[in-house]
Structure 1
Amino acid sequence: METVQRLRAMASLCRQSAALHPDRSWKLLAKAEYWEHLAAAALSTHLEDGFTTGPHDLAAA
Structure 2
Amino acid sequence: MDKVQRLRAMSSLCRQQAAYNSMNKWKLLAEAEYWDHLANLELSSHFEQCNAIPSAN
Q: 4+ residue stretches of structure 1 with deviation over 6 A? A: none
Matched, 1:14 2:1: no
* TM-score, length basis structure 1: 0.84
Name the amino acid aligned to 1:7. L
Q: CA RMSD in A?
A: 1.3
Larger Rg: 1
Name the amino acid aligned to 1:52. A
Gaps of 5+ in 2: none
* TM-score, length basis structure 2: 0.90
The CA deviation string for residues 1-60 of structure 1, in whole angstroms up to 9 with x for no partner, is: 11100000000000000001011000000000000000000000000010016xxx5xx8
Matched, 1:2 2:2: yes
Between the two proteins, the alignment pairs up a number of residues equal to 55
Name the amino acid aligned to 1:23. M
Q: Identity, % of aligned pairs?
A: 58
